[in-house]
Structures are given as structure tokens and as C-alpha cells.
Chains A and B, each alone.
Chain A
């Protein structure tokens, strides 16, 4: 009854794309202009939080292996934590700048979850390649957001963070359950 995993990945790709575009717009026009409408400040953290809530059904309905479940649970919690902390900061409920570190922490955990849960090598199949690429993209994102936490108004870090989200969306859209990568598919995965 569940949709194929690739379709679920595309759905989350839509979320990451929207999130990345909001961040890119904010990076281009500047935080002050972006936040002239108060609701815009809540936009991307709310999307991240909502995506975290929606990740739970994926976790409980795709139980083909324990590590798969644990990885999805890690992403659900990382998204809720990062989105929730940003919402708290925007709302003024959280004041300590330490809460900014939840974003790099969430990306770090997510990146490792991708790398650990994908057991195949890079060129095994397209899905394997994408999992590795997503893992490393998120680890790079963790470094960028660490810089962003230190310099919140830096256009480089803000644009970098936006691009990480857009790259994540693009990688998720590229996913196919069994498909070659650069024309290669491991014989173990059904290639010849």
C-alpha cells in the first residue's frame, strides 16, 4: 500500500527545494528585507519542523531493516530539532546563541545517518551513489552552518546553506530504486 521509496524521496525533495529557495531569497535580499513581513522569518523553520513530523510515518512503515528505521528516526528528530530551535529563536522564546548550533548538529547527525545506513559502495547503483553524495553534502552543510552560527549575517554562509538545501533536493529528485549511475549498475543489483 505504501508508495515506492523513490516517490517518498521526491516528496521530501519538494520540501527541501522550497526550503532552499526561501533561504536563497533571504541570502540574496538580506535578512532585514526578508523579515519585513514577520511571517517570512517563520517560513523555513516551519517547513523543516513539518518535514520532521512527516518523516515519522516513513520511519514506521518502511521496516525492511533495523538500521533503515534508525536512520529515518534520526532524520525525523534532526529536522524537528533544527526547525524547532530556529522557530524558538525567531519567536524570542530561546535567547542563547548556543541554540544556533542545533542546525550544524542536525546536519552532522543526518550526514552520518546517510553514510552509515548505505552499505553499498558509491558506484553500486544510483541510490547508493545518492546516499553517499547526500551524506557528504550534509557534512559539508554542517561546516557551513557552523560558520553561519558564528557569522549569522555572512552572505557566503547564508547562500552556502541555501545551496546545500537545493543540492539535497536535486539529489533526492535523482533517486530511482534500481537505476544505473553514470551508465553503471552492479551485477549484484541486477546490472549486466
Chain B
């Protein structure tokens, strides 16, 4: 009886996955994503690996202004594996294709991409109808920045500030912190990528899981950065693991250098790289700003949560060295930040009129608070520690944790700022040549 019950349970369990529904895989799009066509296409067609159910509105094609340019209902050919929609005569411009089909077992599969007729189309994230970032996306991006700061800043602290002076307890905590940084960077990078896809698709998450993300991964700078950074962080994780396993600190150097290189992925795919008027100077300033911020935030966390609780003998030296490094970091951060603000805000009044400026103002206020706190540490606490006072003080520990908390709060504002659009620059009217006839 018990054997029969067991067999029945196994059979039920085996049957469960079979009730899952089939989903089709998109094999080919014509025109393909990101295509810049010399002549206007007559149709849009999607080739799947299996038969699908298409409806009249399964493929929606719109111009950059949102005008529908399909000339009839979508229909299937090739035994139901190809969905085709006829188009009107397309003018020069960018077009957005949104498609939704149903697999024969009932699952809805979706996608969005762009193509251009005699123009370069925008990335899918800027397709017609794409939405802006959500609050959840801000939180994910915040976590991503914190992860990056823990990883890059933690490694910088260990290699440049501690310079090999450590103990087993400090080591253990150091690897937990930078390990959390690398795992967070990978996980939240993946979540951020999928959420960006959700913005472009404008679908709830449960339907998005069957969305085709290839146009986003292959057709955008953001996607290229995602690919490079995910692979890079996996390698950084492996190097960190090997350094921990073999006790070879030398392996932390390639992990650190790779982490520094990967930070450029954000600068090369963000506002500083793609906005109108961006140049190598804006990309470089963005990179310096980001790296200095990572060193500063990660270093503070290391000092407050790793060195202070685990290595009383190293407190004074670590504080002194980090204080010196922080002065340089803050200088670089402020200079680069000021240059970027000058580049992105056409007028001073944009600081309180435009949303981007308002967020920047909040960020600047928090930065001033953190810098004042840092100045207190630099000019008051560091000399006291040098004189041998306050090394065991709880107030110093609390103060360091407080400054770390403000620094991490700044990263939340940064997460909002990087997804906000800077105000448009006024278009300069061409000077008219005055021709005088004598």
C-alpha cells in the first residue's frame, strides 16, 4: 500500500512539469533590429521555430511620433510559423515594432525592437511607448552601486591603504564584504538588465520572462556593457575566490585592475557617452567621478565595519592613510562632478527648474554633509589619533559608521540621477550671413 502511494506520488510529481505550456522561440525578424534600411520595407515578418497563433494586432508598427503604419491585419504563413504584417509606404524615420503572439499551448511571447528607414534607429530602450524607470529599478541600481563600491573600494582599501598588514579576523571580514560586493554587482546587474527590458516591453514581469531580450543585449550600449560587466565580474569573483583559497594576495591585484576597467562600462553606456554633446572628456570625467566615489564609499565601509571591529592595532595607521587618500579622492570627485554638472545643465536655473537639476541639488547637499563629516575626521579625529587619543573610542566608530551611511545614501540619489534626463540644451541658431550688394 505504501509502495503504491509512493509510486502515485512520483507519477503525480512527474506529471506536473508536463502541464507547463509550450513557448515559441523567435528565429528571425525582417527587418532585423537596429537595421538602417536604404529602402522602405513592405512588410514586417517574424519567423518562429514552431507554429503560433497570431491575431490582427499581433504586430504593431509605429513611427517615431506614434502613428500606426501597418496597412492591414497580421497573418501567419509557413504552416503558422511565420507572422507577417503589411506596411504602408514608410517615410524616412525610425520605427518601433511591438509584437505579441500566442504559442499553441497558450503562452504569450512578446518583443520590441526598432529599425530605421534611411536613419539610424534609437535603441529599443528608447522605442516609441517605452516607459521610464520604476522605483524598484532605482533600488536595484542603488544596490548595484553599493556592490560596486564595496568591491572596487574594498579592494583599493586593502591594497593601497592596508598594504598587506592584516590579521585572520580582518581577512575573513574583508572577503565577506568584497564577496558580497561582487555577488551584488552580478545579481543586481542581471535584475537591472531585465527591468530595463520591462521598460522597453511595457509588460508585467510574469509575461516578460518569455520576452526576447536579444535586441536589448546586442543592439544597445547598455546591453554591450551588461555583457562585458557580467563576464568581467564573474572573473573578478573567481580571482577573489582563488586569492582567499590560496592566501595569495597577489591575485587581488588583477581583480582590482579588472574591477577598475569594468567601472568604465557604466561611463561608456550612460549619459556621458550617449547624450548630445558628449565627448571623451565627459566620459573620462564620469569615469573619474565614479571610481573616486567607489574608492571613497568602499574605503569608508572597510574602515568602519572591517578594520575598526577586527584590528584595533591597525586603526590609527589605517585611519591616517585613508584620510590622506580621501583628500585626493574628494578633490577628484568634486572636480569631475562640477565639470559634468557644467556640461549637463545649460543654465544655473536648471538646478531648481529641471528634475535632473533638483535631484543633483539633493545629491550635492548630501555630498556637502558627507564632506563636512569627512573634514571633521581629517582635521580633528586624525590628529587626535596620531597623538594616541581616541583609538578605542566608540564615538569614532559611530562617527565612521554615520559617514558611511550618508555616503551610501548619496548612492541612492545617484541611482535616481543616472536615470533622469538632463535638460535639453538650447539649439544654437545658425548665424545668417548678411550679403550686401553694392
**A residues apposed to B, CB below 8 Å:** 49, 53, 56-57, 59-61, 63-67, 69-70, 73, 76, 80, 84, 87-88, 91, 93, 115, 118-122, 124, 132, 135-136, 178, 186-190
Contacts and interface: CB of A to CB of B under 8 A. Distances in A.
A178 B214 contact: no
**A contact face: mostly helix, strand, loop, or mixed:** helix
Contact of B230 (A60, A67, A122, A190): A60
B24 to A, nearest CB: 8
Interface residues of B, number: 43
B244 A122 contact: no
A135 to B, nearest CB: 7
Given A84-B241, A119-B107, A64 B214 contact: yes
Interface in B392-412: none
B399 to A, nearest CB: 34
B49 A65 contact: no
Given A60-B226, A69-B190, A189 B17 contact: no
A56 B231 contact: yes
A60 B194 CA distance: 12
Q: Which of A56, A70, A88, A136 has the most CB of B within 10 A?
A: A56
Nearest to A123: B18
Highest count of chain B CB atoms <10 Å: which of A65, A124, A136: A65
A34 to B, nearest CB: 20
A186 to B, nearest CB: 8
Contact of B50 (A60, A115, A188): A188
Nearest to A131: B17
A84 to B, nearest CB: 6
Contact of B26 (A64, A73, A186, A188): A64
Interface of B: 14, 17-23, 25-26, 49-51, 103-105, 107, 109, 190, 194, 197, 208-214, 216-218, 226-227, 230-231, 234-235, 237-238, 241, 244-246
Contacts of A70: 190, 194, 209
The residue among B20, B25, B109, B194 with the most chain A CB atoms within 10 A of its own CB is B20
B213 A69 contact: yes
B22 A124 contact: yes
Contacts of A57: 231
Contacts of B194: 66, 69-70
Contact of B235 (A53, A67, A121, A136): A53
A78 to B, nearest CB: 13
Given A66-B208, A121-B18, A189-B50, 9 more contacts: A49-B238, A56-B231, A65-B23, A65-B211, A66-B211, A70-B194, A88-B245, A188-B22, A188-B51
Contacts of B109: 65
A23 to B, nearest CB: 21
Contact of B210 (A66, A87, A118): A66
Contacts of B19: 121
B22 A93 contact: no
